[in-house]
Amino acid sequence: MLDPRVASLVKGLFGEHYKKMNASDIAPKAVEKREFGFGDFEKKIAFRHVAFKSAEELKRYLVENGPPFVNASAAEYERPDGRPMEAKGWIGSELIFDLDATDLKLPCQQVHGRQWVCDICLSSIKKETVRLIEDFLIPDFGFSASDIEINFSGNRGYHVHVMNDDIFRLASSARRQISEYITGSGIDPEKLFWLLPVEKEGRKSFEVLHGPTPSDGGWGGRLAKGLVGALGTGIGTLEEMGIEREWAGKLFRNRTAVMLGISSGNWDMIKIPKKEEFWKRVVKNMAIKQSDSIDRNVTNDTQHMLRLPNSLHGDTGLSGKRLGSVSELDRFDPMEDAVAFRNGTLEVMVQKAQKFTMLGTEFGPYDNRKEELPLSVALYLLLKRVAVLPNQ
């Protein structure tokens, strides 16, 4: 349980923050058709089925209650407060992707645990988000940049929303196929390759393994481009693709011939045992790591709720941020640009925390130290549950 003094301090600060915002910057499109859900400090969605008639009404609620978590439906409904779900009258849903640093299974997470977020976590999940948009959504699905909205979640990930007329009415099954394609789970690499018989004096004499070329679209082209690119970089990059060291070495030594072959669709230079496993591993490494077991269904669940863009996050005190484009995402630094409380200080007792940077200043590492810190830093540590308020 969070210290009740911290809980009421945070709710008060959150309310004041919302008071200063324009209602139109808080409310999602079609606010009156969205279902809202609110969380407390223990549960991200404690209650739902809430509706607001206007942006102003939503703002008023946030100012009065300062909720730690504000969630809004990706769907629009005729009656967003109707229950059960079937009574709401589903009109359509955005297509959403939930990318979270913990799904990347980074080595740093073994060191700092799931609750903490470091620079590596933040930069890796940003790269993954750019890859989703630039390597999949735009080239393979033909979405245009203006259909895509990116939101910083307020903690350690990004939510990507895709919205156009074709997507809006798409059924769950079609959404699942998109998710499977992007996460590589719907891809059978074996189907991308075939044996081409070569004839000599009118008789079949041998077979050559053929496959995709770098100019092909979809997964075939992605594999070919990925392998050619990695061959040009080095053994380490090949290993990052999921290729075992021994094979990475062999491929790299023969790279000129291998690259030349792939450029014309001839993959015969790559004589690898257990090919099926090999390619599955490579596909898995090139796929987008979307949220695991619990959230894998985010994309195909047409009733899912996500953190309201631009709302505050109760585990960090940081603000979610709506980012207009990939180039805006590139420039975005969460520990600077998502800081909501830029004035004041607060004395806290920091129990244990790794070094981190916020507002351009390095803090920590801490080990049981009482310190007066900038308000945003103190809130971050309190809400990450690595600091407490002093006892008087």
Q: What is the DSSP string of 72-104?
A: EESEEESSTT-SSGGGG-EEEE-EEEEEEGGGG
The Cβ of residue 120 has, within 10 Å, a number of other Cβ atoms equal to 16
Asked whether position 108 contacts Zn ion by CB under 5 A, the answer is: yes
Asked whether position 7 contacts Zn ion by CB under 5 A, the answer is: no
Asked whether position 357 contacts Zn ion by CB under 5 A, the answer is: no
Among 58, 72, 118, 228, binds Zn ion (CB under 5 A): 118
Triad 144, 148, 150: Cα angle to 5°: 145
Based on CB atoms, which residue is closest to Zn ion, 177 or 357?
357
Based on CB atoms, which residue is closest to Zn ion, 74 or 125?
125
Based on CB atoms, which residue is closest to Zn ion, 62 or 101?
101
C-alpha distances (whole Å) from 156 to each of 19, 60, 238, 252, 352 are: 26, 28, 28, 36, 20
The interface region with Zn ion, picked from 10-18, 110-118, 245-253, 382-390 by CB under 5 A, is 110-118
Asked whether position 104 contacts Zn ion by CB under 5 A, the answer is: no
Peptide bond into 365 cis (omega under 30): yes
Report in angstroms how near the CB of residue 110 gets to Zn ion at its nearest. 9
284's enclosing H/E stretch is helix 275-286
The token duo for 96 is 């959403």
Binding mask 45-74 for Zn ion (x = CB under 5 A): ------------------------------
CA 342 centroid distance within chain = 26
For the CA atoms of the chain, what is the radius of gyration? 25
Report in angstroms how near the CB of residue 118 gets to Zn ion at its nearest. 3
The interface region with Zn ion, picked from 100-108, 134-142, 146-154, 171-179 by CB under 5 A, is 100-108
Based on CB atoms, which residue is closest to Zn ion, 121 or 379?
121
Binding mask 285-324 for Zn ion (x = CB under 5 A): ----------------------------------------
Asked whether position 121 contacts Zn ion by CB under 5 A, the answer is: yes
Report in angstroms how near the CB of residue 307 gets to Zn ion at its nearest. 21
CA 250 centroid distance within chain = 35
> 148-152 and 90-93: which strand pairing?
unpaired
Judge whether 74 and 36 are in contact, CB under 8 Å.
no
Among 120, 130, 138, 388, binds Zn ion (CB under 5 A): 120
Residues in contact with Zn ion by CB under 5 A are: 108, 118, 120-121
